[in-house]
């Protein structure tokens, strides 16, 4: 339980003023304010969901709001910016939209958009009514739609010498929902031609290019550039600074920021675990996001997942039983629909499959593309990067090396692959049956039925066989399905470092009574190869398993569990041999 004097964890909070008022811990991002001012008047930032974008915008809102001129010390007295304020502090009338509040159902879409904007503009008018003529609210509200109201506000504010800062948070939330649940026709209706969202952005574009316009600055956030490219005919409404190195850690937590926060709670007696122990547990699940090629080695933690973990630990004295916040799973689940092509397995599935099998891919990152070009291979890979499903891990021959950042995302990628195969009637297993068998593997040491079950389903479901053609294919396929339960974290070779066994079944650390861990070496034969090759393959697997079984990376993570060494041999999609190495 958190002692009363200790700062609260702002898990789920995006209201900066509430964080200050309620004595919550805040990872100070105010040193970015001068950089943002210098970088662009119209700033566009893409980051994955639940990464701290909304809180960033709320902090900036509080800083620039002219109504907060006399509240600077109260709001920012403990922040970096208090000793380093800029000339723009408290100089703006602020308009703030958050389009996650828009209902994406076709019959409610435009009315809901207008309703949200109406409420926000009405709040704007009343918050700053002292600056405007007495009949200003009446005149604004006579106009039929938001875009027209913004034009009128901009004109009157300009005539009065006022300055406006516009924030749009989650600008593409409802358009992504349309794509995911309704389809491209409904999306085009809103974003193309005479669509209301396109008209809205056409007005913003006009306002940003008009001389003497009151709209002086704008900050837009979202999870992809697709909608902005569509509604602005080629992304010409602002500066996309998503991959700019100076903003790599604008949102999320660096390890230094994480350790500073943990040190605070440790010094206040709020932690039952050591700082290093917590970091070591969080790191493989929440870390390793890099948003700029120039910032390799300067990775970021997902802030929502860190706060989820820490809130649980401080409230209960124990880390969460589930390392993944259910809200994260829900958000990633929504994105799954965006990476499908109708009801077939198109080139996007091939990319997912490649990433599962290899752990990485390469691409030239695209910062603007329309929905029509969303599935061009480099654009689709870029989309996975923007969603946080891939991250920059290096460069190769002039392209970015994009890899799965952590266990949280790896689970989602496995889910995308298995659900895509199931949705298209290519292959499906019974989750409860597989979970039952893996439980027997974990607690009774009965491991053979797990592989036998998957092999028998491959035998029965013939459509899947065209996907099992090569060693990488069978290993990636097995990896995705073996990770469908919570008993083990099944780590592949590319995770453990080159030279380790194909799969390490690492016991779930929350299941301290699990008696068995496993190293598995999968050997592969092409269709038609003779049985005479099997003994040589098994001998090779045995030597590898015995060598790797004593590695510290393995032995330090299995606790009291007994490590068992397994060899499994496939010929094409057929299981032809399996045995335990003694």
Q: Mind listing the pLDDT tens digit for each residue in 527-562?
A: 999 999 999 999 999 999 998 888 888 888 888 899
The larger pLDDT score, comparing residue 324 to residue 30, is at 30
Residue 506's nearest CA partner among 496, 497, 6 is 496
Expressed as residue numbers, the domain containing 553 is: 425-582
* 55: pLDDT strictly greater than 90: yes
Query: What is the model's pLDDT at position 255?
Result: 96
**Cβ partners under 8 Å of residue 77, min gap 6:** none
Give domain status of residue 301, yes or no.
no
Query: What is the model's pLDDT at position 153?
Result: 97
Give domain status of residue 288, yes or no.
no
CB 76 within 8 A of CB 58: no
State the Cα–Cα distance between residues 503 and 410, nearest whole angstrom: 14
* 408: pLDDT strictly greater than 60: yes
Query: What is the model's pLDDT at position 341?
Result: 46
* 566: pLDDT strictly greater than 50: yes
- Under DSSP, the state recorded for 367 is S
Last residue in a domain, options 247, 279, 311: 247
List the single range of 74-83, 272-281, 382-391, 420-429 with lowest mean pLDDT: 420-429
pLDDT tens digits, residue range 175-219?
Answer: 888 877 777 788 888 888 788 998 999 899 888 877 788 999 999
**Taking the alpha carbons of 195, 201, 206, 207 in that order, is the dihedral positive or negative?**
positive
- Under DSSP, the state recorded for 208 is H
Average pLDDT over residues 481-488: 90
Give domain status of residue 15, yes or no.
no
State the Cα–Cα distance between residues 238 and 219, nearest whole angstrom: 9
CATH number for position 85 = 3.40.50
* 234: pLDDT strictly greater than 60: no
Give domain status of residue 460, yes or no.
yes
Looking at every residue in the chain, the average pLDDT score rounds to 90
Average pLDDT over residues 336-363: 76
State the Cα–Cα distance between residues 10 and 542, nearest whole angstrom: 51
Give domain status of residue 2, yes or no.
no
pLDDT band at 342 (very low <50, low <70, confident <90, very high): very low
For helices 407-423 and 471-482, the axis angle rounded to 10 degrees is: 100
State the Cα–Cα distance between residues 195 and 273, nearest whole angstrom: 54
Strands 164-169 and 93-98: parallel
Query: What is the model's pLDDT at position 190?
Result: 82
In angstroms, what CA-CA distances link 260 with 275, 276, 361?
Answer: 10, 12, 34
Give domain status of residue 203, yes or no.
yes
Residue with the two structure tokens 């292959």? 427
**Cβ partners under 8 Å of residue 21, min gap 6:** none
Query: What is the model's pLDDT at position 372?
Result: 81
Percentage of the chain surpassing pLDDT 70? 95
Query: What is the model's pLDDT at position 328?
Result: 81
* 289: pLDDT strictly greater than 60: yes
Total count of domains within the chain: 2
Give domain status of residue 275, yes or no.
no
Last residue in a domain, options 247, 280, 311: 247
State the Cα–Cα distance between residues 398 and 400, nearest whole angstrom: 7
**Cβ partners under 8 Å of residue 162, min gap 6:** 93, 131, 214
Per-residue H/E/C for 119-171: HHHHHHHHHCHHHCCCCHHHHHHHCCCHHHHHHHHHHHHHHCCCCEEEEEECC
Last residue in a domain, options 247, 271, 289: 247
Query: What is the model's pLDDT at position 494?
Result: 60
Question: pTM for the full model?
Answer: 0.92
Average pLDDT over residues 431-457: 96
* 296: pLDDT strictly greater than 70: yes
Give domain status of residue 414, yes or no.
no
State the Cα–Cα distance between residues 61 and 88, nearest whole angstrom: 12
Query: What is the model's pLDDT at position 123?
Result: 97
């Amino acid at each position: 339980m958190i002692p009363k004097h200790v700062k609260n964890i702002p898990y789920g909070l995006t209201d900066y003023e509430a964080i200050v008022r309620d004595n919550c811990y805040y990872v100070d991002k105010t040193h970015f304010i001068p950089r943002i001012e210098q970088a662009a008047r119209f700033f566009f930032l893409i980051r994955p969901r639940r990464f701290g974008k909304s809180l960033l915008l709320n902090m900036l809102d509080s800083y620039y709001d002219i109504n907060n001129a006399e509240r600077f010390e109260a709001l920012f007295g403990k922040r970096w910016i208090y000793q380093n304020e800029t000339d723009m502090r408290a100089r703006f009338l602020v308009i703030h939209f958050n389009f996650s509040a828009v209902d994406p159902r076709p019959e409610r879409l435009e009315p809901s958009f207008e309703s949200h904007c109406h409420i926000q503009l009405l709040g704007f008018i009343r918050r700053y009514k002292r600056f405007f003529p007495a009949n200003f609210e009446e005149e604004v509200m006579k106009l039929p739609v938001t875009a027209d109201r913004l034009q009128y506000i901009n004109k009157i504010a300009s005539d009065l010498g006022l300055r406006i800062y516009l924030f749009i948070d989650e600008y593409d939330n409802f358009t992504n929902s349309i794509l995911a649940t309704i389809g491209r026709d409904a999306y085009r209706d809103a974003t193309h031609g005479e669509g209301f969202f396109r008209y809205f952005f056409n007005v913003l574009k006009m306002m940003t290019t008009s001389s003497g316009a009151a709209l002086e600055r704008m900050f837009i956030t979202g999870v992809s550039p697709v909608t902005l490219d569509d509604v602005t005919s080629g992304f010409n409404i602002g500066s996309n600074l998503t991959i700019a190195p100076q903003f790599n850690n604008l949102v999320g937590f660096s390890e230094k920021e994480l350790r500073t926060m943990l040190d605070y709670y440790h010094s206040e007696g709020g932690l039952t675990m050591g700082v290093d122990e917590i970091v070591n547990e969080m790191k493989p699940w929440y870390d390793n996001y890099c948003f700029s090629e120039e910032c390799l080695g300067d990775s970021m933690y997902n802030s929502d997942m860190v706060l989820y973990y820490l809130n649980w630990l401080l409230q209960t004295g124990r880390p969460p039983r589930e390392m993944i916040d259910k809200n994260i799973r829900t958000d990633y689940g929504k994105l799954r629909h965006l990476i499908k092509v109708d009801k077939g397995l198109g080139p996007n599935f091939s990319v997912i499959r490649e990433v599962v099998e290899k752990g990485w891919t390469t691409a030239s990152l695209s910062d603007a593309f329309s929905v029509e070009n969303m599935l061009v291979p480099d654009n689709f890979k870029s989309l996975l990067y923007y969603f946080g499903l891939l991250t920059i891990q290096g460069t190769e021959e002039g392209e970015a090396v994009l890899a799965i950042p952590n266990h949280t995302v790896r689970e989602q990628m496995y889910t995308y692959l298995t659900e895509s195969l199931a949705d298209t009637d290519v292959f499906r297993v019974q989750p409860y049956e597989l979970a039952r068998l893996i439980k027997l593997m974990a607690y009774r040491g009965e491991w053979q039925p797990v592989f036998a079950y998957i092999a028998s389903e491959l035998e029965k479901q013939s459509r899947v066989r065209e996907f099992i053609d090569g060693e990488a294919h069978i290993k990636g396929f097995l990896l995705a399905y073996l990770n469908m339960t919570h008993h083990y974290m099944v780590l592949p070779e590319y995770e453990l470092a080159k030279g380790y066994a194909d799969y390490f079944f690492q016991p779930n650390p929350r299941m301290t009574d699990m008696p068995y861990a496993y190293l598995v070496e999968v050997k592969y034969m092409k269709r038609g190869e003779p049985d005479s090759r099997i003994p040589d393959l098994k001998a090779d697997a045995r030597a590898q398993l015995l060598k790797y079984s004593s590695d510290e990376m393995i032995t330090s993570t299995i606790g009291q569990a007994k490590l068992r060494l397994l060899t499994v041999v496939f010929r094409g999609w057929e299981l032809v041999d399996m045995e335990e190495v003694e």
